[in-house]
Amino acid sequence: MPDMLVKLYELPEEVARYAKPYEGTPITIRRALPPERHVITRWVEDTFNPHWRSECETALSRQPVTCYIATSADEGGATRMVGFGCYDATAKGFFGPTGVDPEFQGRGIGKALLFACLDAMRAEGYGYAIIGSAGPADFYAKAVGAVPIEGSSPGIYRGMLR
C-alpha cells in the first residue's frame, strides 16, 4: 500500500466535527494522557497488533502526546476505549496508526480521530501530513483529499522486522 499525502491547509475549519454523538452513541474524542499508556497500549495490541502498540507507545511518550483516543460511556458511567489515532509515531509528519473497535466501526469515529490528529498537526505548524502505508485509500481520499505518493511502498517500512 502506498503512502498518501494530505494538504493540511485545505482541511475544513469546523472543529465540532469530532465533538458530537456518533449515530446515537455518546463518544468522546480527546488527547490521551501518559498515565493511561498501559491501558491504551494493551487495548491496541489486543484489538489490533503489536506493531501498532509500539507506535502508540512512541506517541504517548511525546510532549505533547500525539495519540488521540475515542471512549464510550455506558449507562452506568463505565468508560471503555473504542478507538485511537496517532501521529508523529513512526516518523515526523506521519499520521497513523489508527483503529476503531470492530463493534463501533461505521459510526464516523475513525473519521473523527483522523480529523482530531490532522487538526493537531496543522496547529503544530505542519503544512502536509503523510498517511503511512494507507489502508483504506478511498476513505482517505474522500475524507481529506489524500492522494497516493508514487513509489512510496514500502517506503520507510522497507526491511521492518516482523
- Residue ranges making up the domain that contains 37: 4-157
What is the average pLDDT across 11-22? 62
The CATH number for 51's domain is: 3.40.630.30
Question: At 26, is the pLDDT very low, low, confident or very high (cuts 50, 70, 90)?
Answer: confident
Residue 83 belongs to a domain:
yes
Predicted local confidence at residue 159, as pLDDT: 87
Residue 79 belongs to a domain:
yes
Whole-prediction pTM? 0.92
CA distances from 72 to 25, 45, 83, 159 (A): 7, 19, 9, 38
For 34-92, the pLDDT digits (tens) are 999 999 999 999 999 999 999 999 999 999 999 999 999 887 888 999 999 999 999 99
Residue 162 belongs to a domain:
no
Domain count, the chain: 1
Secondary structure string (H, E, C) spanning the chain = CCCEEEEHHHCCCCHHHHCCCECCECEEEEECCHHHHHHHHHHHHHHCCHHHHHHHHHHHHCCCCCEEEEEEECCCCCEEEEEEEEECCCCCCEEEEEEECHHHCCCCHHHHHHHHHHHHHHHCCCCEEEECCCCCHHHHHHHHCCEECCCCCCHHHCCCCC
Work out the percent of the chain whose per-residue pLDDT is above 70. 93
Over 70: is that where the pLDDT of 23 sits?
Answer: no
Residue 103 belongs to a domain:
yes
